[in-house]
Amino acid sequence: MKKNDIVLILVVSLIGILFYLGFHINAYTGDKVLVSIDGEKFGEYYLGEDQLININNRNQLEILDGHAKMISATCPDHLCVHQGEISKNNENIICLPHRVLVEVIGQNESEIDAITN
């Protein structure tokens, strides 16, 4: 590689890191989580209130210290358990086999910039 190639790679990498940090830092922490099963509302739970939620005896959602995470599931792949904690608006945990969606919502929702046809 030439010197200019290395400089170009570093500049592109730096721009990518700056975009990532800009979006991550500006993300608002949500107020509550909305749990849906097969598109229908199962419940809303405040992130400020530590609790353990049993979702149809298939999934267990834990809310602790302002974060929500799926701690157990009866599905074969357990991908929802491995997704980790969520706390910022529009972050979600999805369990496809059980059709469960856990989404962080709050008062500082992202606003629509424009609508196009």
* pLDDT value at 13 more than 90: yes
User: Do residues 53 and 98 both lie within one domain?
Assistant: yes
Q: Is 23 helix (H, G, I), strand (E, B) or coil?
A: helix
User: Do residues 94 and 46 both lie within one domain?
Assistant: yes
- For the whole model, what pTM was predicted? 0.71
Q: Which residue has the tokens 């400020």?
A: 48
User: Do residues 4 and 59 both lie within one domain?
Assistant: no
Domain that holds residue 13: 1-28
User: Do residues 76 and 24 both lie within one domain?
Assistant: no
User: Do residues 50 and 98 both lie within one domain?
Assistant: yes
Which runs of E-coded beta strand occur in the chain?
A: 32-37, 40-46, 51-55, 59-64, 67-73, 92-95, 100-105
The pLDDT score that the predictor gives to residue 10 is 92
Digit-coded pLDDT (tens) for 42-94 = 999 999 999 999 999 999 999 999 999 999 999 999 999 999 999 988 899 99
The pLDDT score that the predictor gives to residue 42 is 96
**How many domains are contained in the chain?**
2
Of the pLDDT bands very low, low, confident and very high (cuts 50, 70, 90), residue 108 is low
